[in-house]
Structure 1
Amino acid sequence: MRLLLLEDDVILKDSIEEFLSAQNYTVDSFENSEDAYDAVFSVDYDLLLLDVNIPGTFNGFSLRKALADENKNIPTIFVTSMSSADALIQGYAHGCCDYIKKPFDLTELMLRVRHALKSNCFKTQDDILMLPDNYRYNVTTYELSCNNVPVSLSKTESEILNLFLMNRNRVLTLETLYEKIWDNNVDAANARVQINNLRRKLPKDVIKNIYGLGYRLDCR
């Protein structure tokens, strides 16, 4: 498997490259977004690891979009110090498989890389993801519909749905949801209410409560 790594922190870049290379991945690393962009058109990559705040014409988000505009829809993990919910949604809207916040453990990164390579992330046609029972979700505008009738989602519900879709068929623990959606600044009862509100707007049992663990979105 061949990976492209874009990271302008030289020490971190070298650490990631060395660690993943030791796991038998081929890693091409870059510090500049233009060089990374050009490389994608000369090498077939299985996964992109993109820092968001990087020097050059593109940031990580706009680089992913520019590549998608050229039909280079390569599974992508954003690596960033940005932690806001808005940044999380923006990352997923630009087609990432995962979003890992700095600082992180290299073993965690390796596990996320393995998952992204095994799954197909989610691929869409014209930004539309098809769900069961004629539900459709636009991953760019965050609009949910059923039989072409809009289903109203709050901002938080959209964030939760995006996170489930990026991790479909995997159990998301409550701790993960608290961290990624609310930055651990939420009452547990309030979080459950918002998750259940979203569940009621989706096909029955698409999001399952996995007793003692968390929730799982089943979407094959």
Structure 2
Amino acid sequence: MKILLLEDETILKESIEEFLSSKDYTVDSFENSSDAFDAIFCKEYDLLLLDVNVPGEFNGFSLRKELGDEGKNIPTIFVTSMSSADAMLQGYANGCCDYIKKPFDLIELQLRVQHALKSNCFKTDSDMLQLPCDYRYDVNNRKLIGISGEIQLSKTENDILTLFIKHRNQIVTFEMLYEEIWENNVEAANARVQINNLRRKLPKDVIENIYGIGYRLDCQ
């Protein structure tokens, strides 16, 4: 597994690189976001570990957003000293799988890395994603299939479900939903109605409400 690490604290960067290398990961480390950005388009990486406040053209958040805009949807963990709830929400809004606050134990980092790679929050192993209670989602044809056959979804419901699947087993924040589904042109109450309409078409609690933050699609 190849990991890109963006971290401008030299001692921490070297510690993370040495630790993950000892766990049989291949790690390319960078201190400058512009260099990291270029590397991502030259090599294939399975996971990105990004600090936020780093030298270069981008900070960690804007780097991840730019990659998403360019179609580079690589599982990403932010590793940062920015510990506020607003910063965490911004991280998830820009497409991360996880968010680790400094300081942290390297064993915790290892567990987070393993989970992100296992859940692989941007890819599916086949065209048909298995959901709980024998529900399935045809990724290519955007069809939800229940026990009795296809379940009709509106375009917006399909867009919401696709976003949840893209980030399955991870938190999808309200901000992510508002921006990616409605381009921030929606009232919160109307958005909740459409999300709840989708939830009613799925088995109970498959889409979990994460109070005050957003939702999570449970595919485990």
For the aligned pair, the TM-score class normalised by the smaller chain equals 0.5 to 0.7
**Aligned twin of 1:85:** 85
Corresponding residue for residue 131 of structure 2: none
Amino acid at match of 1:152: A
Q: CA deviation at 1:65?
A: 1.2
Instruction: Write out per-residue CA displacement over residues 56-97 of structure 1, whole angstroms, 9 at most, x where no aligned residue.
Output: 110001111111222111110001111111111111111101
Structure 1 residue aligned with 2:107:
107
1:190 maps to none
Per-residue CA deviation, residues 19-42 of structure 1 (Å, 9 max, x unaligned), is 000000000000001110111111
Aligned-partner Cα distance in 1 for 2:208–2:36: 39
Q: Indicate if the aligned counterparts of 2:92 and 2:176 stay in contact, CA closer than 8 A.
A: no
Q: Please give the secondary structure, in 1, of the residue aligned with 2:120.
A: coil
Q: How does 1:152-171 map to 2 (within 5 A)?
A: 152=189
Instruction: Give runs of aligned pairs for residues 132-143 of structure 1, distance below 5 A.
Output: 134=153, 135=157, 136=160, 141-143=176-178
Q: 1:117 to 1:15 in 2, by over 3 A?
A: same
Within-5 A mapping of 1:62-81: 62-81=62-81
**Where do 5+ consecutive residues of structure 1 fail to align?**
158-197, 210-215
CA contact (8 A) 1:54 1:60 kept: yes
| Residue equivalent to 1:213 | none
Question: 8 Å contact 2:73–2:122 — kept in the other structure?
Answer: no
1: distance between equivalents of 2:72 and 2:10?
A: 26
Paired residues in the alignment total 165
Aligned sequence identity (%): 67
| Structure-2-length-normalised TM-score | 0.63
Aligned to 1:14: 14
CA distance in 2, matches of 1:37, 1:91: 17
Q: Which residue of 1 aligns with 2:135?
A: none
Matched residue, 2:96: 96
Distance 1:106 1:122 in 2: 25
Classify 1:207/1:41 alpha carbon distance in 2 versus 1 (closer, same or farther; 3 Å): closer
What do residues 169-198 of structure 1 show as CA deviations (whole Å, max 9, x unaligned)? Answer: xxxxxxxxxxxxxxxxxxxxxxxxxxxxx9
Unaligned runs of at least 5 residues, structure 2: 124-138, 164-171, 210-215
> What amino acid sits opposite 1:142 in the alignment?
L
Residues in 2 aligned to 1:113 and 1:42: alpha-carbon distance in whole angstroms: 22
- Matches of 1:30 and 1:65 in 2, distance apart? 18
1:142 CA drift (Å) = 3.1
| 1:202 Cα deviation from its structure 2 partner | 4.7
Partners of 2:71 and 2:110 lie apart in 1 by 26
Cα separation, 2, equivalents of 1:5 and 1:78: 10
Task: Tell me if 1:59 matches 2:96.
Answer: no
Cα-Cα RMSD:
3.6
Confirm or deny: 8 A CA contact 1:53 1:60 kept in the other structure. yes
Residue aligning to 2:213: none
CA displacement, residues 140-190 of structure 1 (integer Å, 9 cap, x when unaligned): 553389xxx976299xx9xxxxxxxxxxxxxxxxxxxxxxxxxxxxxxxxx
- Cα gap change, 1:114 to 1:17, in 2 (>3 Å): same
